[in-house]
Amino acid sequence: MSRNLRLTLALVLGGALLVLAACAGRDQGAAPQTAAEPVRSADWIAALPEGPTRRQVVLGCTPCHQLGLPVAHRNTLEDWRVVVARMKKIDDDLDLALIPLDAEQLAQWLSKNARMPKQGFSVPVAQADIREYPAGPKKAFYHDMAVTAGRAWIADYFGNKLYGVNVESGAVETYDIPVNVAPGKPGGAHQIDITRDGMLWITFTKSEQVMRFDPGTKEFRVYNGFEKGGNVQYFVVDADRYMYQDAGGGVWMTHFAREILSRLDPKTGEITVYTTPRTEHVKEKGVHLYAAVADSQGRLWYTETHGNRLGVLDPKTGKASEFDMPEPWSGPKRLAIDKDDVLWIPELATGKISVYDTRAGKFIDRLTLPIPGDFPYGIRRNPYTGDLWITGSGSDSLYRLDPKTKKFTIYRLPRAGAYTRTVSFTENGDIWTNYASFPNFHTRGPSEPQGMDTGVVVRLRPK
């Protein structure tokens, strides 16, 4: 075969493949993809052999940042040893108990099994108009965000500052958070959410406080007295994606490092602690009682991420019960509940979504995210449409899931390492999130090859 003929054939074949790819894209009603899909964290994870070790690696290594591409990977055993030792130290210094595997075992397993994929997983994506709003410094950690009073709010875990971004003008207001810590120490601003009256609430895992911020008067109300060493973590949310308030007006929090939930009376500041059954297999601190939702009867359903359990507390009786997730080390994380009291539970370590009917008392489905290797951190229900939004934390994307048809629509975020933990909604149909990687600089763009220069709130307007 002459060189020219070979070239022509290659071009024709290549062209045919491109046409095929374009048709595949159109068949699904989405814009065709270009052939060269960049390799993302999810692709790197997908190339690791599935099993309990991989699930523990994902559980231990992805709560802070994406693993693998764009920046968190190594090639040799010695390099992995150095990095894993550093990660264990960060984990220990923050007293988080996130990494379940032994350092040497981890380094060995990663150096043996990690492979750089040749290309990224190509999938049809839907179009959206995306706007990024900068706020706060580069060297900070913005765990969560919420929208209220025409502002999108993020807080710095280490720097103890609250930033409110005007959703129209992008102008940023900055507030010092009155956390009870020594100067220079983190308050640990974690969950940010709102109550139906538009008040902003924040949990502080390090200073063991909860605060309410009034976006009108700009005043903080500080609540102290939470269980020491309990890491007050996460507000119980309801099907409308507000913080749950019980009949007495009480708001509820989980604790990350104790198997308890707390009720706070916002008027009096009184805190009531509810215990849950002891968990076997994992030390209490490492169980990670994490996210919780309230059903229509006021029962609180919670996940234990590392303990791999689903639990339910009935505040009427004060009794809680728990059971194992069907698959070991699946990592149930930030779940959502719908109006039929059905739970949508993201499994961080498997990329699946367990669907649990609380009225029937059983799992009724288990969905697989369309992008292999992805690790979904959170699911939020859009109260305006009933759709569920899932963070594609390893694929730089957000998924919309139609709970009736169980169809996924994928929206890609315009950054590499676009690690997200939450989604918020506004009545006009806008979808909100923020880049929430720790470290922040692991999120990168073409004009920020060394990482984002600021914190970033993201508004996604589906087309």
Binding site for ligand HEC (CB under 6 A): 60-61, 63-65, 67, 71-74, 83-84, 86-87, 90-91, 94, 96, 98-99, 106, 438-439
Pull the structure tokens for residue 279. Answer: 């968990």
Nearer to ligand HEC, 94 or 335 (CB): 94
How many whole angstroms separate alpha carbon 235 and alpha carbon 64?
Answer: 20
Q: Could you tell me the smallest distance in angstroms from the CB atom of residue 79 to ligand HEC? A: 8
Q: Which residue has the tokens 């509940």?
A: 337
Nearer to ligand HEC among residue 48 and residue 106 (C-beta) = 106
Residue with Cβ nearer ligand HEC (257 or 312): 257
Alpha-carbon torsion angle 142, 201, 394, 121, nearest 10: -120
* Minimum CB distance to ligand HEC, residue 429 (Å): 34
Query: Which of 412, 430, 423 lies closest to 381, judged by CA?
Result: 423
What is the nearest approach in angstroms of ligand HEC to the Cβ of residue 72? 4
Q: From CA 19, how far away is CA 24, in angstroms rounded?
A: 9
Contacts of 227 (CB under 8 A, 6+ apart): 208, 255, 258, 260, 262, 273
Tell me the closest approach of the beta carbon of residue 242 to ligand HEC, in angstroms.
Answer: 29
| Closest approach of ligand HEC to the CB of residue 339, in Å | 35
Tell me if 259 sits within 8 A of 305, measured CB to CB.
no
Closest residue by Cα to residue 282 from 63, 89, 101, 90: 101
**23, 25, 31, 69, 327 from 34: Cα distances, Å:** 12, 10, 10, 20, 36
Residue 315 CB neighbour total at 10 angstroms: 21
Measured CA to CA, the distance from residue 312 to residue 152 in angstroms comes to 32
Q: Measured from the CB atom, is 91 or 240 closer to ligand HEC?
A: 91
71 or 312, CB closer to ligand HEC? 71
Nearest distance from residue 58's CB to ligand HEC, in Å?
Answer: 9
Which one, of 184, 247, 242, 176, lies nearest residue 211 by Cα? Answer: 176
> Smallest gap, in angstroms, from Cβ of residue 145 to ligand HEC?
19
Establish whether the linkage from the previous residue to 439 is cis, with ω within 30° of 0.
Answer: yes
Q: How far is the CB of 103 from ligand HEC (least distance, A)?
A: 8
Closest separation in Å from C-beta 133 to ligand HEC: 24
Min dist CB 53 to ligand HEC, Å, is 12
Of 61 and 152, nearer to ligand HEC (C-beta) is 61
Nearer Cβ to ligand HEC (381/421)? 421
Q: Is 155 left (phi over 0), alpha (psi -120 to 50) or beta?
A: beta
First vs last C-alpha separation in the chain: 49
Q: Residue 379 in contact with residue 346, Cβ under 8 Å? A: yes
Rounded to whole angstroms, the Cα distance separating 55 from 331 reads 8
- Could you give the angle at the alpha carbon of 353 between the alpha carbons of 22 and 90, nearest 5°? 100
The nearer residue to ligand HEC, 71 or 287, going by C-beta atoms, is: 71
Which residue, 65 or 151, has its beta carbon nearer to ligand HEC?
A: 65
Query: Which residue's CB is nearer to ligand HEC, number 53 or number 122?
Result: 53
